[in-house]
Chains A and B, each alone.
Chain A
Amino acid sequence: MTHLYLPANSNNYTAANRPYSHLIDKIIIHVTQGSWSSALNWFQNPRARASAHYTVRSSDGYLGQSVAEKDIGWHAANWSYNQTSIGIEHEGFVSDPKWFTEAMFDSSARLSAYLVTKYGIPLDRAHILGHNEVPDPYAPGQYGGVTNHTDPGYYWDWYKYMDYVAYYAAV
């Protein structure tokens, strides 16, 4: 899969040896609330203290990678979920559907299908989930972390996305 690899600063993720050190059984879908290039740049900044493995560009679906899949990205606000997931950021804003292009959906679904196949991740909504569905580790019953992250938000078409992932996984 063609992509740009701009490694995140080592302050922003935990080095590991997954899937041998930790099982990878989840994909977490995010929205950046900003531009693709700015997200990749910020993850390179040691002050960010955050990272995702991949970021998908809105205009053409082009992928940027910040963290190797074997390492643990800091994106879920839940250490257990971070340890066992791949984080995919999507360029855009949760309140603006124009960012969620066909090219971005298609590219992200291809990536998820690749990950599902590679790591044996169950192809269901319990294992391919939104940031807003990650349990708050400090408040049982609450989701999206303390800050109640809402991404990917109302305009993220989960039915379409899961159909695409299933299609590419079958191919």
Chain B
Amino acid sequence: MKLFGALVWVGLLAVFLVTGCGQGTQKEETETTGSSSTAPERQDRQETTDEAKTIDEETTGASFTATPEMSGGTEGAADGIQGVRFERSEGYERAVIDFGSGGAPSARVPAWSLSSPTGEGYARITLPDVDSTSVSDGSFGGSILDNFYVVRAPDAGMFLDLFATGAFQYRVTELSDPGRLAIDYRPASVELGFPLPAQAERTVLFEPRAGETVTNPLRVSGYSRNFEASNTIILRDSNGNVLLQSTVLSNDWLDAWGYFETSLELPAFEGQAVLQVGTESPRDGSFEGAEVPVTYGGERG
């Protein structure tokens, strides 16, 4: 009997180890090259009061990746963002986007595409069907998930930028009833290829980046919540003299961050300069915005 009992325990231990190792491998998988956008969704999930636990159970099939592009969702399934939440789990951090339709929670996730350019510290989720949002930005304060912005897209819909504190891998999971998109970040053991976009209180400057060697024409893009959607662009030389000044309107400022982009002819100069993008304070006219140092070699485009 003692020998039989020992065999039973050895067998149980073997089953436990195999099962545990299998799950561990699935969760720790680091790279995928496939085009599958989302994890298979459990349709028969059980009700629980611990939502974090429920979501975690639903994502066990997904893999972390550095794939630059992904897409998914159902066209027309939602028209609004009802919230963006942050959750912290062992080994990763999660942003959850809650979707709505006609003001009520939607059943499914609307069409989405994700762009995570190589070397960049953010992922952009574009939502062409989404036209409204109840939240425009926020800080996650995580160790890898830093903050987010909801931006009126230049063509139609909105996009949401999820900024990281450094290089990251991600995975995406669609959840239904109600429709949610969960984006998990975990740190990657590489360095970012580019400085993060400069972020000020009401201006985020995507182009150019700090320290960039710019070319003519100068492309400037980003998003803002500046008064009456008006953004000024000022290029100053190392002595503070204004080399270039222009104004560009963004496509929103009241309901969400408004996107702007423009191309400007650079004057003849060489060397260091500072680019300021923002607006004057509606209170007293003082400048408020983002600024980055840039270098120009004087070459013409």
A interface residues, Cβ below 8 angstroms from B: 14, 30-35, 38-39, 41-42, 47, 49-51, 74-79, 82, 131, 136-138, 145-151
Contact = CB atoms under 8 A, between A and B. Distances in A.
Given A146-B279, A149-B230, A137 B254 contact: no
A136 B282 contact: no
B247 A148 contact: yes
A49 B289 CA distance: 13
Contact of A147 (B252, B253, B280, B283): B280
B228 A32 contact: yes
B17 to A, nearest CB: 53
A128 B225 CA distance: 27
22 contacts: A14-B283, A35-B254, A47-B201, A49-B281, A50-B227, A50-B282, A74-B283, A75-B282, A76-B282, A77-B227, A77-B280, A77-B283, A78-B284, A78-B285, A82-B282, A82-B283, A131-B228, A146-B280, A146-B285, A147-B230, A147-B279, A147-B280
Interface of B: 201-202, 225-232, 234, 247, 249, 252-255, 279-287
B253 A33 contact: yes
Given A77-B282, A131-B228, 19 more contacts: A34-B254, A41-B254, A49-B281, A49-B282, A75-B227, A79-B285, A145-B285, A146-B232, A146-B279, A146-B287, A147-B226, A147-B230, A147-B232, A147-B279, A147-B280, A148-B230, A148-B232, A148-B247, A150-B230
Contacts of B281: 49, 74, 77
Contacts, number: 86
Given A34-B229, A146-B279, A42 B285 contact: no
A76 B225 CA distance: 17
A145 B253 contact: no
Question: Do most interface residues of chain A lie in helix, strand or loop, or is the interface mixed?
Answer: loop
A31 B232 CA distance: 17
Contacts of B283: 14, 49-50, 74, 77, 79, 82
Contacts of B282: 49-51, 74-77, 82
A138 B254 contact: no
B255 A34 contact: yes
A43 to B, nearest CB: 9
A137 B285 contact: yes
Contacts of A136: 280, 285
A39 B228 CA distance: 9
A138 B279 CA distance: 13
Contacts of A74: 281-283
A151 B279 contact: no
B284 A79 contact: yes
A77 B284 CA distance: 5
Most chain-B Cβ atoms within 10 A of its Cβ — which of A14, A33, A151? A33
Given A147-B231, A149-B230, A137 B284 contact: yes
